[in-house]
Amino acid sequence: MKAAVYYENGDPGVLSYEEVPDPNCHPKGVVIRVEAVSIEGGDTLNRWRGALVTRPHVVGYQAAGEIVEVGVEVTNLRVGQKVATTGAFGSHAELRAVPARTAWPIPEGFDPKLASVIPVAFGTADDCLFEFGRLKAGETVLVQAGASGVGIAAIQLAKRAGARVLATASSDERLERLKTYGLDEGINYRTSDVVESVMRLTNRKGVDLVVDSVGGSTLQGSILSLAYRGRVSMVGAAGREPMTVDVSSMMGGNRSLSGVFLGAEITTDRVHNNIQRLIDEAARGEFEVVIDRTFPLSQAAEAHAYIESRQAVGRVLLIP
Ligand SMILES: NC(=O)c1ccc[n+]([C@@H]2O[C@H](COP(=O)([O-])OP(=O)(O)OC[C@H]3O[C@@H](n4cnc5c(N)ncnc54)[C@H](OP(=O)(O)O)[C@@H]3O)[C@@H](O)[C@H]2O)c1
């Protein structure tokens, strides 16, 4: 099969398009013919400095497509079925093997391109808001990096749950585009101070919950933006900065900081069923899956470079 591979970590230019051996089907797994690869923020970070567990390494968490092989121990999936899949690596390819537990059937008529985006971005946003963030209707949420894959999912799910939604982004144009998805107030962090803006927009109370996938100095701003009993769901390090923060404001305000890692619970019934529910809701049009651009798989390097140029709002896909 063809795949986008690399032999060393680095900039998008390390990606090349090559012939590699087909993946093997595990007895408890399936192999799919990939129709769409959703490039995750974690894929660009892994390419930059993640472990190369295969050589050459095929990076990538998420892809959707048609099942072409089913492991002998798998009873709930069949050849010909369309599924959205997640795995530790291997999405940037024509074929990918995953455990059956991280393959979710796509409802009839729902575009696999849209389904490919849902498990990690929406599953993570949902956990940040509800399981770990304990969001209630009427509360105010701040979504850091609102134009990111996790960010747009969080904005839509928070709005649907009856929250007031604030978000940050690196330009006014990006914030403007987020209004369609439920953003109430945008903060351009390049031109305004985030904590000061949050305090102005909340009558100096602060926000009840922050979804922070950026980390570093942004995470410090998230902590300082919290209301009494406010919570931060700390879920990523897109800013590529050290995670050193001052937590001295937390205790006095009964505030909390929760780390969120979807991968740690993705094979549990709770998360597995949650992701299937989100796929079914997206198929019914209950929220929008935002795709910014698609590239052919052979142009994975260009697609990664485009994402890192910070122009994308929502997901960038690769099509084999
Ligand atoms: N823990 C988990 O379970 C989990 C699950 C999913 C994702 N994540 C993590 O969450 C983070 C975001 O993932 P994603 O898929 O939403 O990412 P994404 O769609 O690629 O978006 C990342 C966003 O971060 C912002 N950003 C801020 N500083 C940046 C920098 N120095 N370089 C690049 N972007 C920067 C950019 O928006 P602006 O230009 O508007 O600032 C960019 O759009 C990643 O670190 C990922 O690994 C964790």
Whole-number pLDDT of residue 99:
97
Does 88 sit in the ligand 1 pocket, CB within 6 Å? no
Q: Residue 44 Cα, ligand 1 centroid: separation in angstroms?
A: 9
Does 262 sit in the ligand 1 pocket, CB within 6 Å? yes
Residue whose tokens read 């209707």: 137
Q: Domain 122-262, what fold?
A: Rossmann fold (3.40.50)
- Residue 244's CB: how many other CB atoms inside 10 A? 10
Query: Where do you find CATH 3.40.50.720 in the chain?
Result: 122-262
Q: Residue 144 Cα, ligand 1 centroid: separation in angstroms?
A: 9
For ligand 1, atom 14, which residue shows the shortest CA distance?
41
Does 318 sit in the ligand 1 pocket, CB within 6 Å? no
> In residues, how long is the chain?
320
Cα 297 to chain centroid, rounded: 20
For ligand 1, atom 31, which residue shows the shortest CA distance?
239
Query: Where do you find CATH 3.90.180.10 in the chain?
Result: 2-117+289-319
Whole-number pLDDT of residue 35:
98
Low-confidence ranges of the chain (pLDDT < 70): none
Give, in degrees to the nearest 5, the angle at Cα 42 between 38 and 48: 115
Whole-number pLDDT of residue 186:
98
Q: Residue 145 Cα, ligand 1 centroid: separation in angstroms?
A: 7
| Domain over 2-117+289-319 is classified CATH 3.10.150.10 | no
Pick from 262, 310, 317, 318 the residue to mutate for probing ligand 1's pocket: most ligand atoms within 8 Å of its CB. 310
Separation CA 85–CA 123 (nearest Å): 12
Whole-number pLDDT of residue 129:
98
